[in-house]
Amino acid sequence: MYVLNSVINLMLEKMKNNRYTNWFFAAAVVVAGFSMAACEDEPDKYEVAGGKPTLKYVRVPDPAAADSLLTGAYMANTICLVGENLRSVYELYFNDQKAILNTSYITDHTLMVDVPKEIPSVVTDKIYMVTKAKDTIDYDFKVLVPAPTVNSISCEFAKPGSEVTLIGDYFIDDPNVPLTITMAGNVEVTNITNITKTAVSFILPDNAPAGYINVKSIYGTGRSKFRYYDTRNILFDWDGSHGGMAIAHGWRDGSKVLREADENSIDGAYICLTGALDGAIGATWAEDEFSFNYWPEPSAGYPELSARPEFAELLEEYGVNGLQLKFEVNIPSSNPWQSCALQVMFTGNDVVTYATGTNAYFSDTNVPRGLWLPWKNTGSYDTGGKWTTVSMNLSEFNKTHEGNKCDRTFDKTMLTGLTFFVWAGGVEGKDCNPVIMIDNIRVVPIE
């Protein structure tokens, strides 16, 4: 510091007759002064302490519940270590899994940390606190592994004898307690083909009944957040086999895209949206090939969708934000989808009915909708010729046809009609000739 000050004083003496240079250098000296002060005075800088930590107990993070002491916690949960000299903790392990330390949440007396989300390979039921000097202090604490979480299945309408995949987490196949899968009615799955922590594949039993699926591991049992072969509130099944409508009602009632049961079917009749699509945004308008409309006309036997008894009951119990649209889709690899969005437009009577028929709402930016663009991230999408289940939360029906946010909020008055149309979407694609087969369009609760 003394040498730096001497140099500054000498340069100031030599430049005292040049007021402009003097002014500029004076400013520089001020900056240098601040810099030197910053170097010497950083009261908030975190420093690892010396010595060893002492851990007295572990509690939940909320200070208001500080008397809730913990002897174990589930993976990914946040906990608070309480003790002495906790700033001496340089590394922290739960069993053999290293935790991520955030110095913003470490004081001498508390340390907040997330329990690692990976399952330990070696279970010791201990926390290990490691200092910078490599001293290790342990503390008894159990990492709890949750029961399996079963979020979805590759296809809810898969046929018995076919392979399906459950998607979720904590599918742990312990050598001593193997993972098991049970269908509704206590029908056991006997052929599990592959298991990872987040996915498990198996062959559907020949007698697989409709309903929830349970997955049991050494850590407990988890029930699926869906029902296999879920026939609740099917709006369009295209043959009436599940109480859905066999045909829509509008300028495009689905008859031009309807396919009777064939070798591609998953569950009887279905619709097939197919033809040439230009890669440019909104360049292709092909209603005959890529759309169907349902516009209510109660006097002719075509009710408002939301007035159908099962739909009305679900709306009353769960509300719009508690519901999701589901359907099955099959896109062969020979005809991948590479352009345009599937515009899913629920409509209210203020937008269109059969009596006021129009297609102006397709491009009306005040009509919120859901957009499905599964090819967006990779440039191409197909299902390999297999049927798969698609889910779209109604709370996400908040887009315009261009993919922008719609100013109008989607609500239950907008559920009297329904339109599917492959068009626009706001994302540049590639010229393509997709084959998009769709069946069992339904609205069910989010579980």
End-to-end CA distance of the chain: give it in Å, rounded.
67
Q: How far is it, in rounded angstroms, from Cα 419 to Cα 400?
A: 14
* pLDDT attached to residue 331: 98
* pLDDT attached to residue 63: 83
Instruction: Please provide the CATH number assigned to the domain covering 232-443.
Output: 2.60.120
* pLDDT attached to residue 43: 57
Q: How far is it, in rounded angstroms, from Cα 358 to Cα 252?
A: 11
Q: How far is it, in rounded angstroms, from Cα 147 to Cα 216?
A: 7
> Which of the residues in the chain have pLDDT under 50?
1-40
| Residues in a beta bridge with 294 | 249, 418
Q: How far is it, in rounded angstroms, from Cα 137 to Cα 120?
A: 19
Give start-end residues of each CATH 2.60.120 domain in the chain: 232-443
CATH fold of 147-226: Immunoglobulin-like (2.60.40)
Alpha-carbon torsion (53, 59, 60, 65), positive or negative: negative
Residue at token pair 């922590």: 197
* pLDDT per position as a tens digit, 415-441: 999 999 999 999 999 999 999 999 999
Give start-end residues of each CATH 2.60.40.10 domain in the chain: 52-142, 147-226
Kindly give the pairing relationship between strand 72-74 and strand 142-144: parallel
| DSSP 8-class letter at 122 | S
Q: In 3-state terms, what secondary structure has residue 285?
A: coil
* pLDDT attached to residue 367: 98
Q: How far is it, in rounded angstroms, from Cα 41 to Cα 416?
A: 67
Q: What separation in angstroms does the CA of 83 have from each of 68, 80, 91, 131, 315?
A: 15, 10, 16, 15, 51
CATH number 3.90.110.10 given to 52-142: no
